[in-house]
Amino acid sequence: MKNLIKRYFTTNEIIKGFVISVFISNFIFLGFLSENFGGIFNNLFLEFISPFIAIYGFYKLFNCNKIAFFFTGFFIGILWFYWVSFSLKFYGLSFLIPLEILFIAFVYGILFLICGWFNNKFYKMVMLLLISYFYPFNFNWLNLELVLMPGIFEPNIRGLAFIFLGIIALYEIKNKFKKAFIFIVCLCLSLQIFENYSYDFGFKTKLVNTTISQDIKWLNEYKNPQINAVLKEIDEAINNNFEFIIFPENAIVAYLNLEKNLEKELKEKSFKISILTGALAFENNQIYNSAFLFQNGKISRFDKYILVPFGEEIPLPNFLKNIFNKVFFNGAEDFTKAKNVSFYKVNGAKITNAICYEATRPEIYKNSPNFVVAISNNGWFVPSTEPFLQKTLIKYFATKYNTTVYHSVNGSKSEIIKPKSLWIKRVLKSLNL
């Protein structure tokens, strides 16, 4: 038994896996530093070198055994998703945070172990390309194509596949000039050459940003102050001639469909401005996470279609789901989800609705919509790298499907997210050329 443990848990393999995982994950932390601290980190050069650091990480990974693959996945699980456990503190379960982090790490360790099971590098390449399209517990945020979001490469499976082929060439071709030539050709074939056109509404839109702590957001004494803040924002937007105002997820901390006086007031204001706000809905003894649109005195409700795993639904068989909810959530039931993705129009613009996690799912971008309006509450996870990873995923889908995303957020920055632009174009712009 002792020899077995030594074989699979050597310090060398653990360190190797950790270092490789840091190389591959560098875009998260360089991007996070750039967004939050600026200065030396707000640098196009760092953005340029980020994918090359990841490429070097993959180069080292391709030559690893399955144990180093396991530890690479293990540490990637931690570096990418440590923040998932932070929501436990709001349920009085802070003591479980280390266990949840280890569980997440183990799940992704197993996935990478499968990818590195055989020595054949082409097999490793195929499995690493496919891992981004396998969603454990219906959670799709591990996407290796994201490492190409910064810099000069095309952030899709083609870009990543050519990079992997170039890495294989470095190992398999003996002639150093041929291997260098093929590697460079593969890098050239993975470059971003074109950028997608980005759309705009064409009418004045206000993205509301709030910073309400999750500790107090759902306390009863803060309900009316938050509602009053929403009404004040609307009045200010009307006075400043905005035509559309977008509030974050659960900006109104109530079952809005039961708040008839508030509904009436919002309907009256909607003759002057279109209003989209997040709130809960209660109907037929079921709870929905919803977006409410008030427009020209009318109200429309759009319920969430894709629920957050282990946050809004438990992705387990019913008998396990009931036990899980009883033990950890005092018997609370899952949210009820919509049957389909929701669409609506504002001033003639057709918009796809997305509530938080939905904005990072490919189902929302089916048929390449021009516009997605996303509302989020990141108060569950801040401070952490979660908002940056969420933004990167949204930008990835915006790039892939040629979509502009209007994103209103509580807890982190609200912004308009457009397809990735050419790195060289941004450099020339920064030089005023």
Give me the active site residues, please: 249, 304, 356
Cis check: omega of the bond before 315, within 30 degrees of 0: no
Whole-number Å distance between alpha carbons of 204 and 198: 17
- Are 17 and 71 in contact by the 8 Å Cβ rule? The answer is yes
Whole-number Å distance between alpha carbons of 357 and 145: 18
Secondary structure of residue 243 in the 3-state scheme:
coil
Whole-number Å distance between alpha carbons of 329 and 239: 44
How many residues are listed for the chain in this entry? 433
Residue 304 contacts by C-beta under 8 Å, 6 or more apart in sequence? Answer: 288, 289, 290, 312, 335, 337, 338, 355, 356, 358
Whole-number Å distance between alpha carbons of 48 and 151: 4
Residue given tokens 């196009």 in the structure block = 44
- Are 291 and 312 in contact by the 8 Å Cβ rule? The answer is no
Whole-number Å distance between alpha carbons of 330 and 403: 40
What backbone phi and psi angles, to 5 degrees, belong to 138?
65, 30
What backbone phi and psi angles, to 5 degrees, belong to 303?
-85, 155
Whole-number Å distance between alpha carbons of 385 and 35: 10
From residue 407, alpha-carbon distances to 21, 126, 217, 363 in Å are 30, 34, 20, 17
Count of C-beta atoms within a 10 Å radius of residue 344:
17
Whole-number Å distance between alpha carbons of 337 and 281: 11
What is the full DSSP assignment across 333-351? PPPP--SS--EEEETTEEE
Secondary structure of residue 376 in the 3-state scheme:
strand
